[in-house]
Structure 1
Amino acid sequence: MSTWSVPHNFIHSTHELDVKADPTMASITSLAKKTLRRQVTPIMLLTVITAALSSTMYGYNMSKLNTPYEILLSFINTTYTERNGVEPAPTFLTLIWSVIISAFVGAGALGSFSSGVFAEKFGRRRGLFINHLLAFASAAAEMAAYYCKVYELLIVGRAIIGFNSGISQGLVSLYIAEVSPKQVRGAFLSFHQIGIVIGILLGQVLSLEFVLGGVNTWPFLCGFSVMPCLLSCCLLPLCPESPRYLLSVRKDEAAAKAALLRLTRSKHAAKELLNEIREEEKVVSSRPDLYESFQYRDLFTRPELRRSLMMSALLNVSQQWSGINAIFAYSHSVFYNAGVDPEAIQYAIIGTGVINVVVTFISLALIEKVGRRKLLLIPNWILVGSLLVLTACINQQSNFAWLNYFTICIMLAYIVGFGLGFGPLTSMITCETFEQQARPQAMAVIQTVHYVSCFVLMLTFKFMEAAMKEFIFMLFACIVAVATTYLMFYLPESAHRSVKEVVADIKDGWRWRPCNGSDGAESEGAEIARKRRKRGSSGTYIKRADARPEDLQLQAAVTTPLRKADYDADDDLEEA
C-alpha cells in the first residue's frame, strides 16, 4: 500500500489516505463526485430552490402580459371611451401600454436600491418572507382593475410587484451565494436564472387565450402571481438563515455554527464554509477603518470596489440592452413583424420560453467545467452575430419569403446565446466580485442599475422600434460588442476561486491573464496553482514514494496551513 496526500480543496478530509499503488483517474473522479454529493445536502438544495421561487415570480410578471397584449389594449380603449366619451389616440394607447410594462422595472429599481438595507435589517430568509406580502397587494390591485374598470390600477399593481421583485432579486442572489459551498456556488447561483426562465415560460403558457389569457380570464392570470409566494412562504421556515449573515452582521457565532451544521450535515463540509467566512472576517478585522463603518459612498471612493462596481454595472446594462427583455416583453409584435402567422404567434412565444429553459439547464451543467469567462464571452459574440443577421433578415424578408422562417431560427439562436452567457452569469459574477461587507450595498446599487436600464429600455422600445424599425437590433449588437470587448481584457475568472482572490485581481486593475500579476510576473499563489495544474489538476494526488522534494514542499505549503484551521473549526463545530 502506498500513501497519498489529498489536497484540502479537492475533498473534505485533511487526513492521509491509503489507496492502491496505481489508482486510475476514474477512481479519483469518482471519489470527488461522491464527496460533492455528500456536501450538497437536501436542506441546502431546499434552501436554494425556495430562494429561487422569488426569481420565478420575477420572470412570470415579466412575460404574463405579452400574449393578451391586444385584449388588454382593447380593455384600456373601452374603459377610456366609456369614461370620456371619445376613443383615445393610438399614441396614447402606446404610451399607456409602455407605462404599464415599464412600471414593473421602474419600481424594481427603487426596490433594488432598498434591498441592501432590507437584507441587513431583516436578514436574507426573513427579508424574503416579509417581502412576499407585497405580492398579495399587487395581485389585488391588478384584479381590481378589471372589476372596477380602472386601467390605472394595472399600473399600480405592476409598480407594487416591481418593487417586490427588486428587493427579491438582491436578496435571492445574496442568500444563495451565502449558503453555497465554493465548489458548487456557481451551479447554485444558476438557480436564480433558472427560476427566472421557468417563470417566463409559465407566464407564456398561462397567458394563452384558452388558458388564462382570455377576455374574461386575464384577471386570474394576474392573480396567479401570488402562487410562488405562497409556496415560498410555506418552505422558508424550513430553511436556515445565512451563516455569513449570522456571523458577519449579527455576530452570533453559535447560531452561525448551528446553521452550518444544519445546511451541510457534515463537520468536514461545515468547517470549509466556516473557514471561508473566517478568512473574510480576518480581512475585515485587519482594516477596521475600512470595513466597520462601511457605507454606500465607499463603493465609489475605494478603487478596488469602484472597479468591481463598474464591471458589474457594465454587465447588467449590457445584459438589458442586449435586447432580451425587449424581445420577451414585445415578443408578440416582434414575431408579427417577422411575418409569423398571427394564429401561430402564441405558440412561437412558448417555443422561445422552452428553449430558454433548456439552454439555462445546459449552462448549469457547463458553468463549473468551462469557467465564467469563456461561458460569458463566447455566447456574447453569438449574440452579436445573431443580432446583425436578424437585422439583415428582417430588412430583406419582403423580397424573400423563406427569410420569415430563417428569421425565427436566428431569433432562437439569439436566445441560446443569451441563455448560455448573459442570462445565468450576470448576477453570479456580480456576487463573486465583492467581499462580504460590501456585498449587500453593492448588490443594491447593481440591481438598481439593472432595473433602471431595463426601465429605460421598456419605456422607449416601442418608440425606438417605430423610428428605427429592424435597425434597433443593430443598436443592441453594438452595445453587446463594446461591453464584451472590455470584459475580454478586464474580467477575471472566478470559477473555483475564493472571493478574496477575485477581488485581489480586480484591485490590481490589470488586463486579465491566467496566473499573472499586474506587472506580468507570476505571483506566489499563481505559481502554486500552475504547478498543481501541471501535475494534473487542483485535485491530483501526489504519491509520496515517487514525489520529488519540491513536490512535497509545494504540497506542504498548500495543505498544512489549512489543516490547522480545519482542526480549529472541528473543535468549534463540536461545541456547536
Structure 2
Amino acid sequence: MLQYFTLLLDSPVIIAAIFTIGIGGTFQYGFDVSVMTSASPFIKDMMNETFLQRYDVSLEEWQSSLIWSFTVSILCIGGLLGSLSASLLTAKYGRKRCLLFNNFFAILGSVLMILSQRALSFEMIMVGRFLYGINAGVSLSVHPVYLLECTPKRLRGMVGVTVATFTSFGKFCGQLLGIRELLGTLERWPWLLGFNGFTALVQLLTLPFLPESPKFLLLERGDRQACEKALNKLWGSKDHSAAVEEMLEEKASLQNIQNRSVMELIRDQTVRWQLLTIIVTFVTLQLCGINAVYFYSFDVLRAAGIQEDQLGHTALGTGLCEVMTSLACFMIVENAGKKALLFRGYAGMTVILIILTITLYLESLVSWMPYCSLALIFLFIFMFSGGPAGVTAPLPGELFMQSFKSAAYIIACTINWVGLFLVGMLFPIMVEKMDYFCFLVFLVFCAGCALFIWFNVPETKNQTVLEIAAAFKKMHGKSEEKSGKEHTEHKINIINLYETKF
C-alpha cells in the first residue's frame, strides 16, 4: 500500500487532476442525490404558495406529492440524456473539452435555482434539476474515462476509487450544507440548491491547466508527440516509451476498427463476459439497497430515540461513514484486488440485509433493537463504500478496449440512471406493500452479484485491457469450447440419423 501511495505522491499533477476532475465530476451527482432532502419542505411550501397566487387554488396532498416526485425524478431524465450524448461529445471534442463545456449546464441550472424563490417559480427548479441531470450524466461517463487514461497502470485501481469517493463526498456535502445552521433555512435554501454552480466554476477555472488525455491524443487523434508531451506533464519528465508502446499495441489491435456502437457491443461474442459483468455490477449498484437504506435511516433514527430536530445532524454520520470508508478503499484497493473487494462487499451486504430485516421486524418488541438496526445501517454503508461503490464506476474503462469503451459507458450509465429512477419511484410503494421485508428484494440482487463475480470474473489488478480480455477468455474458453463441441456432435448425430433413415 505504501509503495503505491508514494508513487502517487511523486505525481503531483495526477493529484491535481483527481481533485479538479472530481469536484466538477461525480461530486455533482452525489450532491444532487442528497441535497433535495433538506430543501423539500421549503420547495413544497413554495409550490402551494405559487398555486394560491396564480390560480387561487390550494394543492391537495396527492397533487403536491406528484409535482414533488417529478421535480426530483427529472434529474434522472437529464442524466440519461447526458450519458447517451457523452460518447459522441468525447469522440468529437475530446475528454477535457467535453468536461469544460459540461460545466455551463451546471452554472445555468444554478442561476435558475438561486432565482426561483424570488420569481416564485417551481418550474425554474424543475428546469434547473434537468440541467443538473445533463451535467451529472456527462460527468459520470467522462470523469472516470479521462482520469484513468491520465493515470499510470500501477495506480489506476487507487485513482479509480476516487470517482466513488467524490460521489460520497458530494452526498456528505449535500447533507452538511442542508443543516439549519448553514443553508437549510427558509432564506438560504435557493443558495443550497445553487451550490453546484460554484463547484462547476472551480473546475471551469482549473481544468484548462491540465492536458488532454494521452490515450485520446494517440489512439483517436494519432498525435504521438502530443501524447508524449501530455505524459511528461502528468507523470514527470521520464522515459514513458513502455506506456506509449502499450497504447500502440492496443491501437494496432484496433487497426481499421472504428468506435463500436451499443448494438455492435451487444452482438460481439468476444466481449460477452465483459458486457455481462458491466450489466450485473451496475444493475446491482442501484438495486443493492443503498439508496433504500439512506431513505430508511431517518425512521430508524426516530425509533432509536433521536429528537426530530437532531435527525439531520445525526444522519450526517451516514454520509461521513461512506466518505471515510471510500478513503480506506482508496488505500487498500491495489493490494486487495477488485474482484475480492466486489465479492466481499456484496457478500457482506447480503448477510447484513438478512439481519437488518430481522431487527427492523423486532423493533416494536424489543426496546434496544433500534440501536442494532442503526449499527447495521452503518455497517451496510461500510461494506458498500469499501468495495462496490469504489470499484464499479471505473469498470467499463478497464474491461474494454478503446473501440468499445464509449458504448460500454453508455450502457453502464443508462443502467445507472434507469435504476435510480426505478428505486425513487417504486421504493415508497414497496415499503407500503411489504414493510420492512422490502429489503429481501435487495438481498437477492446482492447475493446474485456476489455469486456471479466469484464464478465469472477474473482479477483485473495491474492488468492491461488485452491481459484482462485474455483472462476472461481463459476463464470461460473451456466451457465455451466444450459447448461448441457438444453442439457440433449434436449436429453430426442428427445428420447420421437423417442418412440412416432415408
Same fold (TM over 0.5): yes
Structure 2 residue 52 is matched with structure 1 residue 52: no
| Aligned counterparts of 2:157 and 2:5: Cα–Cα separation in 1 | 19
1:419 deviates by 0.6
Per the alignment, residue 101 of structure 2 pairs with 130
Structure 2 residue 175 is matched with structure 1 residue 204: yes
Confirm or deny: 8 A CA contact 1:194 1:361 kept in the other structure.
yes
1:36 deviates by 3.0
Per the alignment, residue 105 of structure 1 pairs with 76
Q: Which letter does structure 2 place at the counterpart of 1:361?
A: L
Stretch deviating more after TM superposition (456-465 or 446-455): 456-465
Q: Which letter does structure 2 place at the counterpart of 1:352?
A: T
Structure 2 residue 246 is matched with structure 1 residue 276: yes
Structure 2 residue 120 is matched with structure 1 residue 149: yes
Matched ranges for 1:49-448 at <5 A: 49-53=19-23, 54-268=25-239, 270-285=240-255, 288=256, 291-292=257-258, 294-328=260-294, 331-332=297-298, 335-336=301-302, 340-448=306-414
Q: Which letter does structure 2 place at the counterpart of 1:405?
A: Y
| Aligned counterparts of 1:113 and 1:250: Cα–Cα separation in 2 | 22
Select the residue among 427, 447, 464 that pairs with 2:430: 464
Mark the CA change 1:353 to 1:34 in structure 2 (over 3 Å): closer, same or farther: closer
| Aligned counterparts of 1:56 and 1:260: Cα–Cα separation in 2 | 26
Matched ranges for 1:530-545 at <5 A: none
| Aligned counterparts of 2:98 and 2:259: Cα–Cα separation in 1 | 22
Mark the CA change 1:317 to 1:425 in structure 2 (over 3 Å): closer, same or farther: same
Per the alignment, residue 20 of structure 1 pairs with none
Q: Which letter does structure 1 place at the counterpart of 2:393?
A: S
Say which SS state the counterpart of residue 401 (structure 1) adopts.
Answer: coil
Q: Which structure has the larger Rg?
A: 1
Per the alignment, residue 500 of structure 2 pairs with none
Mark the CA change 1:464 to 1:151 in structure 2 (over 3 Å): closer, same or farther: farther
Say which SS state the counterpart of residue 266 (structure 1) adopts.
Answer: coil
Q: Which letter does structure 2 place at the counterpart of 1:271?
A: S
| Aligned counterparts of 2:117 and 2:387: Cα–Cα separation in 1 | 39
Confirm or deny: 8 A CA contact 2:274 2:400 kept in the other structure.
yes
Structure 2 residue 11 is matched with structure 1 residue 41: yes
Mark the CA change 1:267 to 1:126 in structure 2 (over 3 Å): closer, same or farther: same
Q: Which letter does structure 1 place at the counterpart of 2:21?
A: A
Q: Which letter does structure 2 place at the counterpart of 1:494?
A: T
Say which SS state the counterpart of residue 38 (structure 2) adopts.
Answer: coil
Per the alignment, residue 416 of structure 2 pairs with 450
| Aligned counterparts of 1:265 and 1:129: Cα–Cα separation in 2 | 24
| Aligned counterparts of 1:403 and 1:211: Cα–Cα separation in 2 | 33
Confirm or deny: 8 A CA contact 1:303 1:507 kept in the other structure.
no
| Aligned counterparts of 1:108 and 1:168: Cα–Cα separation in 2 | 9
Stretch deviating more after TM superposition (85-94 or 275-284): 85-94
Q: Which letter does structure 2 place at the counterpart of 1:397?
A: E
**TM-score, length-normalised on structure 2?**
0.90
Confirm or deny: 8 A CA contact 2:297 2:315 kept in the other structure.
yes
Mark the CA change 1:409 to 1:517 in structure 2 (over 3 Å): closer, same or farther: same
Mark the CA change 1:469 to 1:85 in structure 2 (over 3 Å): closer, same or farther: farther
> Could you list the per-position Cα deviations for residues 373-430 of structure 1 after superposition, in whole angstroms to 9, with x for gaps in the alignment?
1111112112112222222222221222211222111110110011111110111223
| Aligned counterparts of 2:190 and 2:143: Cα–Cα separation in 1 | 28
Confirm or deny: 8 A CA contact 1:376 1:421 kept in the other structure.
yes
1:267 deviates by 2.4
Per the alignment, residue 552 of structure 1 pairs with none
Confirm or deny: 8 A CA contact 2:113 2:191 kept in the other structure.
no
Say which SS state the counterpart of residue 254 (structure 2) adopts.
Answer: helix
| Aligned counterparts of 2:292 and 2:74: Cα–Cα separation in 1 | 14
More helix by share: 2
1:78 deviates by 3.3
| Aligned counterparts of 1:304 and 1:509: Cα–Cα separation in 2 | 13
Q: Which letter does structure 2 place at the counterpart of 1:309?
A: L
Mark the CA change 1:152 to 1:508 in structure 2 (over 3 Å): closer, same or farther: farther
1:80 deviates by 3.2
Confirm or deny: 8 A CA contact 2:303 2:370 kept in the other structure.
no
Matched ranges for 1:558-569 at <5 A: none
> Could you list the per-position Cα deviations for residues 425-449 of structure 1 after superposition, in whole angstroms to 9, with x for gaps in the alignment?
1112232110112112211221111
> Could you list the per-position Cα deviations for residues 329-364 of structure 1 after superposition, in whole angstroms to 9, with x for gaps in the alignment?
675456447764312210121111111111001111
Confirm or deny: 8 A CA contact 1:246 1:256 kept in the other structure.
yes
**TM-score, length-normalised on structure 1?**
0.79
Say which SS state the counterpart of residue 346 (structure 1) adopts.
Answer: helix
Say which SS state the counterpart of residue 214 (structure 1) adopts.
Answer: coil
Mark the CA change 1:184 to 1:465 in structure 2 (over 3 Å): closer, same or farther: same
Stretch deviating more after TM superposition (220-229 or 389-398): 389-398
Q: What is the count of residue pairs matched by the alignment?
A: 481
Confirm or deny: 8 A CA contact 2:80 2:137 kept in the other structure.
yes
Say which SS state the counterpart of residue 66 (structure 1) adopts.
Answer: helix
Confirm or deny: 8 A CA contact 1:318 1:479 kept in the other structure.
yes
